A and B are shown apart, each in its own frame.
Chain A
Amino acid sequence: MSAGRTFKRGGVHPPGEKHRTAAVAVEDAPLPERLVVPVSQHIGAPARPVVKKGDRVLAGQVLAEAVGFVSVPVHAPTSGTVRRVDVAPHPMGTPQPAIEIEADGDDAWAEPLEPIPAPEAADPSVLRRRIQEAGIVGLGGATFPTHVKLSPPPEATIDAVILNGVECEPYLTADHRLMLEAAGEILAGLQIVLHLFGLERGWVGIEENKPDAIAEMGRRAGDGGWAEVVPLEIKYPQGAEKQLIQAVLGREVPSGALPMAVGAVVQNVATAAAIHAAVVRGRPLVERVVTVTGPGVREPKNLRFRVGTPVRHLVDRCGGLTGDVAKVVLGGPMMGLAQHTLDVPAIKGTSGVLCLTRDRVRTAPAGPCLRCGRCVDACPMGLEPTGIAAAIGADLVEEADRYHALDCIECGSCAYVCPAFIPLVQSIRYAKGRVLSWRRKRGR
């Protein structure tokens, strides 16, 4: 029995599969010849391009500017020439506007944003503006603009900041390696976030399958007690914001509410490191670490890549695909997005490139619901996935709303345990869209 804390309800235990890359140090991926930088790499309004075909750009230069508050700019990942400003393949599946850059190989940098060497003395509003200017988004995979999350409305009281080092998705080890190799930067980022809220003390949640990361982060945090490293029991989806808050603080975010309702703000460890780089060194977000792994790739690795690098380039760096690859997923196996081409660019939200062989891919058709209730037991949000799926299958939108479809976090636990292989998450995602438009129509 584990001593670690965890969330109360549901959860599943998929095989970790992290052994392939957990001990492989992060390596810099070489610069590709061409990079495709989508203007939409975040949730919110896509950035507006400010360069045109033929322009020469330097690394770190703004390629597209933020449009409104819930939006961030996109920066040039390296120096070179703009070859195209047009739609291009995107990890989300449908082609989207992007800026294609032919790298010149010099990797010459533009003047950085002005460094703020002593963030603890800086005004919070200056820091928030900097975080937006640097194009920082949640690097856990959801890519929500970080400055928005760090700007709660005045009536909300934030008393807890949690860094998310859980990395509960099987196969992925990018955050794990970052915690081992850049613990200082992550903790410096935590300090900046604490300063934004005028807090003294924060938490770092890490699952017990990463004892070395728990030790390293604890050692770097020191004995001051300002950053408490919390070992967590291994359980998926512990890295989901609401589950992590419950595991660490024992607080439950009410239905339909945001974490700030219980006074908590959660940031991924990689996001914290990016905040530190943006504030102290003036570096915009143009690179991140990705785990290229799975039985379908020859040499699994953790790679630090420039945003816009084609996935094919990353896979080639790892010795290429094996012959029997059947599916390539960006992200983890539970929540990642399957791709139909390796020509998509890896972007800010790309935490994993998972190459699965035929024996790991299920293509069996779905059977009828057995009413076994396993999905209900597995749901970390306390929902009834089969009920939502049945309701929307019969076009009963109001019924799906009564089942609280909108509370679903799309973690995939229900579909993972379903013995009839029913694509429950897809049904619920569809139901969420229908419920939202139905509510809009009713004017609520």
Chain B
Amino acid sequence: MIEAVLIVGGLGLVSALGLGLASLKFRVEVDPRVEALEGVLPGANCGACGYAGCSALAKALAEGAAEPTACTPGGAEVAGAIAGILGVEAGTTVRRIAVVHCRGGRGVALDKGVYVGVPDCRAAALVGGGPKLCSAGCLGLGTCERACPFGAIHLDGAGLPRVAPDRCTGCGACVDACPKRIIDLEPDGCRVHVRCRSTDRGKAVKAVCSEGCIGCGRCAKACPVDAIAMDRGLARIDPDACVSCGRCAAVCPTANIDDLVAGRCKALIDEPACIGCGKCARVCPVDAIAGERKAPHRVDADRCVGCGRCAPVCPAGAIRDGDPIPTSVETAA
């Protein structure tokens, strides 16, 4: 009996000693910040940062290999938390969301024929470029929908992907999944989009799609801030220059340009309240505001496009909504 206790006890003692020594000698240094960083990352493992997942990014952040703003889905909030843990400045992030540059759904864009094959856009694109006659057209088989880790893209009734802006985190998974390269990440601030990527001539576009960009250039002429450039037969909006005034959408003959601003109004300056600082005049992209220094300023209603940039900069809160500007849909009707 006593022998057994001694043998088992002795074995236990020796093993404990061995384990204890090993844990001292072979100890793995764990950066406590990695765990903390993992805690603040979203945990979706979407891969938008370019790392294998959230833990991989946490490790890279701790090593200084990634910027605090690397997590796009997390946005400014997560970037701030990361910067706090790492003790650095967060920098700024511009929220970007996915935009689908095609409106050639069923009944709008023509098909080459009946497609009987693998229900995946990337596989369909291998069969003569896909079933759409337009070589830049959305194939509508939902590969982007399945690629989205946040459930922010769904095909609508016409088989076109619709992005839910509040769910989209700008991770870019759909951008990579689309074989036609018609999805882009664009700054959330730009609310007007050309929904076409075909650089074909107008006649060729019209032959295959009733709502494609025909390259007429009317939008570029209508743009008060020169944010639209014509690239072969296609209008392209520079999202950084665009003021989302919607004038391009109003003149587009094929109604291709999307205007997502719900309603805009002309700016109106409450003259007694205006202190004449001139800040609004400086931010106005169309030079619609004028006035003497230290005297009330006025808005030229004919020029004002209702972009809304002046109101937030007014230190006196003297700018409010004036007459509503009809939207492009109302203009058309």
Contact = CB atoms under 8 A, between A and B. Distances in A.
Given A430-B122, A430-B126, A365 B116 contact: yes
A427 B118 CA distance: 7
Interface stretch (A89-97, A109-117, A177-185): A89-97
Contacts of A327: 113
A430 B123 contact: yes
A433 B126 CA distance: 9
B116 A423 contact: yes
A362 B117 CA distance: 11
B126 A94 contact: no
A174 B127 CA distance: 25
B118 A430 contact: yes
Nearest to B147: A395
Given A427-B123, A430-B122, A430-B123, A337 B114 contact: no
Contacts of B117: 423, 426
A429 B135 CA distance: 20
B128 A337 contact: yes
B133 interface: yes
B128 A93 contact: yes
Interface in A349-371: 362-365
Contacts of A427: 118, 123
A94 B124 CA distance: 13
Contact of A340 (B113, B118, B126, B135): B113
B114 A426 contact: no
Contact of B135 (A95, A338, A365, A430): A95
A364 B116 CA distance: 8
A363 B113 CA distance: 11
Interface string A68-104: 0000000000000000000000001111000000000
A340 B133 contact: yes
Nearest to B113: A340
Contacts of B129: 92-94
A337 B116 CA distance: 14
A426 B123 contact: yes
Contacts of B112: 93, 340
B286 to A, nearest CB: 39
A221 B4 CA distance: 95
B300 interface: no
A362 B116 contact: yes
A338 B122 CA distance: 18
B120 interface: yes
B120 A338 contact: no
Interface residues of B, number: 16
Interface-central residue, A363, A364, A426, A427, by most chain B CB under 10 Å: A426
B128 A426 contact: no
Interface in B85-121: 112-114, 116-118, 120
Nearest to A92: B128
Nearest to A327: B113
Measured as residues with beta carbon below 8 angstroms from the partner, the interface class of chain A is 10 to 19
Nearest to B201: A86
Given A338-B113, A423-B116, A426-B117, A94 B123 contact: no
Contacts of B122: 430, 433
Nearest to A365: B116
Given A94-B135, A95-B135, A429 B116 contact: no
B133 A429 contact: no
A426 B113 contact: no
A363 B115 CA distance: 8
Interface string A298-335: 00000000000000000000000000000100000000
Contacts of A337: 128
Contacts of A433: 122, 126
Contacts of A94: 128-129, 135
B113 A93 contact: no
A429 B122 CA distance: 11
A94 B125 CA distance: 10
Contact of A93 (B118, B120, B127): B127
A338 B128 contact: yes
A362 B112 CA distance: 17
Contacts of B116: 362-365, 423
Contacts of A429: 123, 126
Interface-central residue, A340, A365, A429, by most chain B CB under 10 Å: A340
B135 A426 contact: no
Contacts of A93: 112, 127-130
A427 B119 CA distance: 10
Nearest to A337: B128
Given A95-B135, A340-B133, A363 B114 contact: yes
Contacts of B120: 430
B67 to A, nearest CB: 23
Contact of A423 (B114, B118, B133, B135): B118
B321 to A, nearest CB: 49
Interface string B64-90: 000000000000000000000000000
Contacts of A430: 118, 120, 122-123, 126
Contacts of A95: 135
Q: Give 3 closest A-B pairs by Cβ, nearest first.
A: A93-B128, A340-B112, A94-B129
Given A340-B112, A340-B133, 11 more contacts: A92-B129, A362-B116, A365-B116, A423-B116, A426-B123, A426-B126, A427-B118, A429-B123, A430-B118, A430-B123, A430-B126
28 contacts: A93-B127, A93-B129, A93-B130, A94-B128, A94-B129, A94-B135, A95-B135, A327-B113, A337-B128, A338-B127, A338-B128, A339-B128, A340-B112, A340-B128, A363-B114, A365-B116, A423-B117, A423-B118, A426-B117, A426-B123, A426-B126, A427-B118, A427-B123, A430-B122, A430-B123, A430-B126, A433-B122, A433-B126
